Chains A and B, each alone.
Chain A
Amino acid sequence: MIQDNSRRRLLFGGAVLGAGALLTACTSNEAGPTTAQTKGPEGDNANAAAGKAVTIGFSAPAADHGWMAAITNNAKAQAGAYPDVTFTSVEAGADAAAQRAALDTLISQKPDAIVMLPHDGKELTASGLKAMQAGIPVINLDRSFTQALAYRVMIKGDNYGMGVSAGNFVVAQMKAKGVTNPVIGEIAGIDSLELTQERSQGFKDALATAGFTVANRRAAEFTVDSGQREATNLLQALPKMDALWNHDDDQGIGVLAAIKQANRTEFIMIGGAGSKAAIESIQKDDTVLKATVTYSPSMASSAISLARLVAQGRGLSDLVELSVPKDITLSSETITKENAANYLQLGF
């Protein structure tokens, strides 16, 4: 009896260990990260010529979704492409307070420039000021500081412009199809974020130029399952639809799943951000997704290039001015089947 029991335990223990080993083996994701978006120092571009060796410090929030992961990857890869750049990255931690502390450490190391994507522009303006006062030029990435004194260069995406691009595409498509009173749906991201409000405002304004309005708008949470949930309900609310704009390609995976599950094909869909999966799908043209408007994490690569030029005291070679401009807002481009091939390398 005792022997029986111990044998059973041995077998059970072995089974548990085996299942554990099998499961651990199942955590590998061999595909690896998608290639970073960089531009190497090539050709006879004056900016490409090696300058004095500089150290660039970098700080961005810990990645919680694909876009943020691409930001960090791009910055690192772009710095690696320049032989005259040393890259120092500090973990920004989980919140604004942690990022402030990390930046204090970075400032004390006296890099030649700092590229910073703050957790919150308002809360980290003081850290930007501190670095600038210590004589370190700050490149403010995407989320803007509240004071112009806190940064040397600001480079950011255009949320309002994203909405405008999506709206313009819808207007052009509806005109081409001759639809005069289209039913338009919108699936937004997290509604409490300022960027979501700006995107929706841009969309609304662009549609208004043609006299169109959004018939129904649902806010998801930038996650695939919330995208599926909100899209399913939106499709129920609008049994006939002409166009749909979804703010984020990552949540768009869920939105497209919902559309497939509901067997709906009568409308066109526009995405947002420009993920690799979305661009590939647009190129193949096998779903309702016909276009996506960019908000590209390639801005991190550009920020590193700008930081290098600022630290070396050089300007952009195509411009007349001898130093780098102060504010750069990237335009939101529209990716369609026609130009998808050009953008594939920028997808994340």
Chain B
Amino acid sequence: MKATTTADPGAHPVAKTDGGASLRRWWTSESNEFAGRNLGLLGVLVVLVIIGAVTRPDLYGDPEWVRNNVFTILQQASAIGVVTVGMTFVIIGGGIDLSVGAIMALAGVWATTLATQSYGPGGMIFTAIVVGIGAGLVNGLLVSYGRLVPFIATLAMMVAARGLAASISGKQTQISQSAVINDIATTKILGVPLLIVILALVVAAGWVLLNRTTFGRRTIAVGGNPEAARLAGINVRVQTLLLYGLSGLCCGIGAIMLTAQANSAQAAMANLYELDAIAAAIIGGTLLSGGRGTIIGALFGVLVFSTITNLFAINGLSTESQNMIKGGIIVAAVLIQQFRFGSLTKLFSRTAKP
């Protein structure tokens, strides 16, 4: 189990002797399957950028514009990226969270009520995070102790959280008056927008948590085989509860980021983010049935979607065709994952030695 989860190719240095064969072994070995997939997604990203450069050479000719555009793509990916990290943990742990968009809306709305805003930016951030964690823990309780199927429990939360958000906001758009919150979207640290820094920190924390801690090992164990995990002494219920709480925490952080970007919050915001987050996790190589997945892959998944949106915008193409392409990419990514790189190299070696 340990071997299948390592996403870091550097952890398995290629032997210096016999270059060709070891490279082939590196590709074919189970442990580097994820690395291969990430390279595949990186390839997709490169192709998308090349398409952009070919179709709009006037824009891509300006290095200043290109740098801005990279930041734009990353900023647009930041809130959904943070949520996707939480979603990846839940899916690896054998669950699913359909309520992330609704929890983001609830946390955003709760954090921007006039009463919360009167406590200043600290109060707003605290509220968003506590509401996010709280809603996530309710999901977790329903799934682990209430024995509800995750799909149903989080579906119920999706409907209920949007309803609560609408009732708190009175169906109005709540404008954030806090300059500190709104500035999150414009602040730069050493030239890098703060939103991107937050995304990088969350991704790094998620990677460490999944790959370098017992919490991560337990998540994988619980998702891969809950019965074996229980027999191995893991408290499956507590682990599941914590996973949904973690997803809720990510929603709370994401809600603040989205509120900062839009300078406001409303009950209808973050619409269908759950589907984008699930799709990004899946094309990043996370197994929907649990037990396997990577944070880096999920990040690439988010970046691919964000880059497609950007590519269609700069070419002035319609949303309809964009959605069709997005659907095609999800299918293609999953098909590529089912296709084993190992069998390809075996095929080459067979034809090379008749």
Contact = CB atoms under 8 A, between A and B. Distances in A.
B115 A30 contact: yes
Nearest to A16: B134
Interface stretch (B18-26, B162-170, B245-253): B162-170
Contacts of A328: none
Contact of B262 (A216, A228, A236): A228
B200 interface: no
22 contacts: A23-B131, A28-B114, A28-B115, A29-B174, A30-B115, A65-B266, A65-B268, A68-B171, A215-B316, A221-B268, A221-B271, A224-B262, A225-B258, A225-B270, A227-B262, A228-B261, A229-B309, A232-B72, A236-B310, A236-B314, A250-B173, A260-B263
Given A219-B319, A236-B69, 8 more contacts: A23-B134, A64-B166, A65-B266, A65-B268, A66-B173, A191-B319, A191-B320, A224-B265
Contact of A239 (B59, B110, B268): B59
B127 interface: yes
B243 to A, nearest CB: 20
B171 A29 contact: no
A30 B174 CA distance: 12
A216 B110 contact: no
A227 B182 CA distance: 16
A327 to B, nearest CB: 30
B275 interface: no
Contacts of A33: 170, 172
A320 B199 CA distance: 67
Interface in B314-345: 314-316, 318-320
A289 to B, nearest CB: 13
Interface stretch (A118-126, A136-144, A251-259): A251-259
Contacts of B99: none
Interface of B: 59, 62, 65, 68-69, 72, 75-76, 110, 113-116, 119, 123, 127, 130-131, 134, 166, 168-175, 182, 185-186, 258, 261-271, 309-310, 313-316, 318-320
A218 B264 contact: no
Contacts of A224: 173, 262-266, 269
Interface of A: 19, 23, 25-31, 33, 63-66, 68-69, 191, 215-219, 221-230, 232-234, 236-237, 239, 250, 253-254, 256-258, 260-261, 277
A223 B115 contact: no
A197 to B, nearest CB: 12
A148 B169 CA distance: 38
Contacts of A257: 182, 185, 261-264
